Amino acid sequence: MLNKRVVVIGAGFAGLSAATHLADQGYQVTLLEKNDTPGGRARKFETEGFVFDMGPSWYWMPDVFDTYFAHFGKKTADYYNLVRLDPSYAVIFGQDDFVNIPANPTEFRNLMEKMEPGVGPKLDEFLKQGAYKYKVGIQNLVYRPSRSILEFVSPRLLLDMVHLNIFQSMSKHVREFFKAEKILRLMEFPVLFLGETAENIPALYSLMNYADISLGTWYPMGGMHKIIEGMVTLAEEKGVQIRYDCAVSKINVTNGKAESLTLSSGEKIEADIIIAGADYHHVDTMLLAPELRNYSPKYWDSRVMAPSSLLFYLGIDKKLENLLHHNLFFDEPLGPHADAIYKNPRWPEKPLFYVSAPSVTDPSVAPDGKENLFLLIPLAPDLVDTEELREKYFNMIMDRLEKLTGQEIRSHIIYKRSYALSDFKADYNAFKGNAYGLANTLWQTAFLKPSLKNKKVKNLYYTGQLTVPGPGVPPSLISGHVVAKEVIKEYSLQK
Q: What's the average model confidence in pLDDT over 384-406?
A: 98
d(Cα 327, Cα 413) in Å, to the nearest integer? 19
Is pLDDT of 467 > 60?
A: yes
Whether the CB-CB separation of 177 and 198 falls below 8 Å is answered with: no
Give the model's confidence band at 489: pLDDT under 50 very low, under 70 low, under 90 confident, else very high: very high
List phi, psi (to 5°) of 335: -45, -65
How far, CA to CA in Å, does 417 sit from each of 346, 374, 382?
Answer: 23, 10, 21
- For 378, phi then psi, to 5°, come to -70, 135
Cα(224)–Cα(358) distance, rounded to whole angstroms?
A: 10
Query: How far apart are the C-alpha atoms of 141 and 67, rounded to whole Å?
Result: 16
Residue 36 has pLDDT above 60, yes or no: yes
For residue 173, the surrounding DSSP H or E stretch is helix 170-175
Q: Cβ(295)–Cβ(33) under 8 Å?
A: no
Contacts of 477 (CB under 8 A, 6+ apart): 13, 14, 17, 64, 65, 68
Q: Which string of DSSP letters, residue by residue, matches 384-423?
A: ---HHHHHHHHHHHHHHHHHHHTS--GGGEEEEEEE-HHH
On the question of pLDDT at 10 being above 80, the answer is yes
Where helices occur in 9-167 by DSSP H, the ranges are: 13-24, 62-70, 105-115, 120-139, 155-164
Strands 28-32 and 241-243: parallel
* Helix residue ranges, H only, 223-358: 225-237, 280-282, 297-301, 334-338
What is the tally of helices (H) and strands (E) in the chain?
A: 15, 19
User: Residue 4 in 3-state DSSP?
Assistant: coil
- What one-letter code names the amino acid at 98? F
Give the model's pLDDT for residue 365: 98
In contact, 347 and 310? CB cutoff 8 Å? no
Higher per-residue confidence, 138 vs 438:
438
- The model's confidence at residue 429, banded by pLDDT at 50, 70 and 90, is very high
Q: Give pLDDT, residue 150.
A: 62
When pLDDT is averaged across residues 358-362 and rounded to a whole number, the result is 98
Strand partners, 89: 101
What's the mean per-residue pLDDT of the chain? 94
Residue 23 pLDDT exceeds 50: yes
State mean pLDDT over 27-48: 98
CA dist., res. 137 & res. 164, Å (int): 8
Q: Per-residue pLDDT tens for 225-243? A: 999 999 999 999 999 999 9
Provide the 3-class DSSP secondary structure of residue 20.
helix
Does residue 31 come out as left (phi exceeding 0), alpha (psi in the -120 to 50 range) or beta?
Answer: beta
Q: pLDDT for 475-486, tens place per residue?
A: 999 999 999 999
149-191 pLDDT per residue, tens: 666 666 565 556 667 888 899 999 999 999 999 999 999 998 8
The alpha carbon torsion through 360, 361, 363, 368 (nearest 10 deg) reads 20
Quick check: 83 pLDDT over 50? yes
The 10s digit of each residue's pLDDT in 260-318 is 999 999 999 999 999 999 999 999 999 999 999 999 999 999 999 999 999 999 999 99
pLDDT at 338: 85
- What are 187-217's pLDDT values in tens digits? 999 887 787 889 999 999 999 999 999 999 9
Cβ-proximal residues to 129 (8 Å cutoff; 6+ apart), any chain:
163, 165, 206
Distance CA 38, CA 229 (A): 8
CB 125 within 8 A of CB 177: yes
The residues pairing with 453 across neighbouring beta strands, listed in sequence order, are 461
Question: Would you give the distance in Å from CA 4 to the centre of its chain?
Answer: 31
Label residues 385-395 b or e (16+ Cβ within 10 Å = b).
beeebbeebbe
Q: Determine the 3-state secondary structure of 46 from DSSP.
A: strand
What structural domains does the chain harbor?
A: 5-74+222-302+437-491 (3.50.50.60), 105-211 (1.10.405), 305-428 (3.90.660.20)
Q: Tell me, what's the pLDDT at 1?
A: 45
Q: 75 versus 152: which is more confidently predicted?
A: 75
Question: CA 405 from chain center: how many Å?
Answer: 28
Identify the pLDDT of residue 249.
98
> Are 215 and 60 contacting, i.e. CB atoms less than 8 angstroms apart?
yes
For the chain, what's the residue count?
A: 495
pLDDT at 71: 98
What is the structure's pLDDT at 279? 97
Read off the pLDDT of each residue in 342-363 and give the average, rounded to a whole number. 94
Distances (CA, A) of 77 to 80, 211, 226, 238, 433: 5, 20, 11, 18, 35
Contact 99, 116 (CB under 8 A): no
State residue 421's pLDDT score: 98
